[in-house]
Amino acid sequence: MIDVIAIVGPTASGKTALSLELAKRLDGEVINGDSMQIYRDMTIGTAKILPEEMQGIPHHLLDIKNPDESFSVAEYQTLVREKIADIQSRGKLPIIVGGTGLYVQAVLFDYRFSEEAVDQELRDSLHQELEELGPDNMHRKLLALDPDSDIHPNNTRRVIRAIEILMSGQKKGDRELALSPMYNELIIGLDIPREILYERINQRVEVMLGRGLIAEVESLRNRGIRDVQSIQAIGYREIYAYLDGQATREEAVRKLKQNSRKYAKRQFTYFKNKLPIFWIDALADPEKNLQEIIAFMQENDRDCRIDKLTTKFNTSRELGGFS
């Protein structure tokens, strides 16, 4: 029986709308799968769903950290697995929704983290590489391992530590276990032509600005929040540069759109290379997509819960909306 669903895809591909319809149809509850939506007071820039948009569906692991607190994939893994057990104990279906591929992978598969597993030889070689080739090279190395990383290139200590964890953070005998599923999961991916996605991203940035993104970032800045993990998120570091006088508003907005598009490209790469995904067309008819998902579940699940629940589809919200 499929006991966990994950919905992944690049930013602005329609994950939120799909998750709401699936949750209503499958008696599910949503778990945040975005590394930045865990922060309080960072709503507009992270495209966080608002309470009035949740349509009565319980949402978990939103707004659980202050912006000046750190957060790791290992901590996320622990919290989500606990939340999955809690949701399942109440007879509900957990639905993880988000674009942070490493976070989703770490939860659904036997992905292990161990401080003791860091190889000193690897650590020495990374520091030598940093000295010889510089921080930009190390940051590119990190992004090749984790396209979702939001660590600033100049924070070389955290860049090197992240590479260490990703390259040897598992016990050597456990590497194959990272591919072993922890649940009978279904990972749904939203696919969308790149040119259409990029236009959606550009439009969404304008919507964020209209909703008060600059004021949201300014509020964080006025509280003295800077040089922390959360502020390195796309949408925040660009506006900080504008508020600090390092860029004009036009330059900051242009950079924000550009960085969002680059991030979406990295997301696609990660999803297609790292996760076993059931892909659907984000531009297809919403009902068609839902029926394809249900058919797949029925074919792969003798005790599919959809047979016991309503199949009424609420068309009040299109799947092509922003996520």
* 156 annotated among ligand-binding-site residues: no
Rg for the chain (alpha carbons), in Å?
20
For 38-52, what is each residue's pLDDT tens digit?
999 999 999 999 999
Confidence of residue 213 (pLDDT cuts 50, 70, 90): very high
Same domain (yes/no): 200, 298: yes
| Domains held by the chain: number | 2
Same domain (yes/no): 198, 294: yes
Note whether residue 270 is domain-resident: yes
Same domain (yes/no): 282, 134: no
pLDDT at position 251, please?
Answer: 98
Beta strand ranges found along the chain (DSSP E): 4-8, 28-32, 59-60, 93-97, 185-191, 278-281
Note whether residue 150 is domain-resident: yes
Same domain (yes/no): 187, 261: yes
Same domain (yes/no): 69, 194: yes
Same domain (yes/no): 241, 297: yes
Note whether residue 320 is domain-resident: no
d(C-alpha 188, C-alpha 278), whole Å: 5
Question: In angstroms, what CA-CA distances link 226 with 25, 43, 217, 254?
Answer: 42, 17, 10, 22
**By residue range, what is the domain housing residue 203?**
4-109+181-308
* 72 annotated among ligand-binding-site residues: no
Same domain (yes/no): 87, 206: yes
Same domain (yes/no): 187, 96: yes
Note whether residue 245 is domain-resident: yes
Helix (H, G, I), strand (E, B) or coil at 30: strand
Please check the confidence at residue 176 and state whether its pLDDT lies above 70.
no
* 12 annotated among ligand-binding-site residues: yes
Whichever domain contains 197, its CATH number is 3.40.50.300
pLDDT at position 140, please?
Answer: 85
pLDDT at position 175, please?
Answer: 40
pLDDT at position 132, please?
Answer: 63
Same domain (yes/no): 235, 258: yes
* 212 annotated among ligand-binding-site residues: no
Same domain (yes/no): 86, 135: no
* 46 annotated among ligand-binding-site residues: no
Burial class (CB in 10 A: 0-12, 13-18, 19+), 195: exposed
Same domain (yes/no): 97, 194: yes
Note whether residue 219 is domain-resident: yes
Same domain (yes/no): 238, 261: yes
* 10 annotated among ligand-binding-site residues: yes
